[in-house]
A = this chain, B = another copy of it.
């Protein structure tokens, strides 16, 4: 099987959520698998002196409208959690901890967390919220709680974020096909064409 795609997302990125719902099926159409990687966009934003999308005047209002419009088209009951943007560090730690044990379960956990945030409109920033979702996924709450404080897990996330920054990941979603970078939910059709044609 050809090299897997790399899919970067931030748990607090609604466009990342839209992409997470599609990326595995997209890749599968071309016989590819997907490695998911949680990113902390705040780190990239700080490095680049940019604001979170929805905090930018005009662009923020537009993006909210665009998200609701896209969700409506997909019959997705989308909403933003009251606290937005939110910290995604606990969710990202839980994700990597689980990924190293069971990647498919980690994808399910990631989707469940983002659904809680962007369909449920509820918090996933606080550790107890993450643990609650982990439990609904059949995970041992105490074990995940310990993982969130595990220095090795913290270090794992730091390394992934460093690598992402080095690779130029400045937004979510962000997909690599080999070394070829594709940014944005809007660019998934381009990823699809790239995989279909082998690139140009």
Which residue numbers of A lie inside 8 Å of B, CB to CB?
A: 44, 47-51, 56-59, 61-62, 65-66, 69-70, 72-73, 165, 168-171, 181, 183-184, 186-187, 189-190, 193, 200
Chain B residues with CB below 8 A from A62, complex form: 168, 170, 181, 183
CA distance A49 to B165 in the complex (A): 23
Given contacts A183-B66, A184-B186, contact A58 B44 (CB under 8 A): yes
CA distance A171 to B181 in the complex (A): 22
Chain copies in the assembly?
A: 2
Assess whether B66 is in contact with A200, with CB atoms less than 8 Å apart. no
CA distance A193 to B168 in the complex (A): 32
Smallest distance from the beta carbon of A107 to chain B beta carbons, Å?
A: 25
Selected from B66, B169, B189, the residue in CB contact (under 8 A) with A189 is B189
Selected from B48, B57, B59, the residue in CB contact (under 8 A) with A171 is B59
Chain B residues with CB below 8 A from A48, complex form: 56-59
Chain B residues with CB below 8 A from A187, complex form: 66, 186
CA distance A49 to B73 in the complex (A): 32
A63's closest neighbor in chain B, by CB? Answer: B183
Smallest distance from the beta carbon of A43 to chain B beta carbons, Å?
A: 11
Assess whether A65 is in contact with B200, with CB atoms less than 8 Å apart. no
| Listed A/B pairs (10) with beta-carbon separation below 8 Å | A50-B50, A50-B59, A58-B165, A58-B168, A62-B170, A62-B183, A65-B181, A69-B200, A73-B200, A184-B186
Smallest distance from the beta carbon of A166 to chain B beta carbons, Å?
A: 10
Q: A62-B183, A186-B187 provided; 10 other pairs, C-beta below 8 A? A: A47-B57, A48-B57, A49-B51, A58-B168, A61-B168, A62-B170, A66-B187, A69-B200, A70-B190, A73-B200
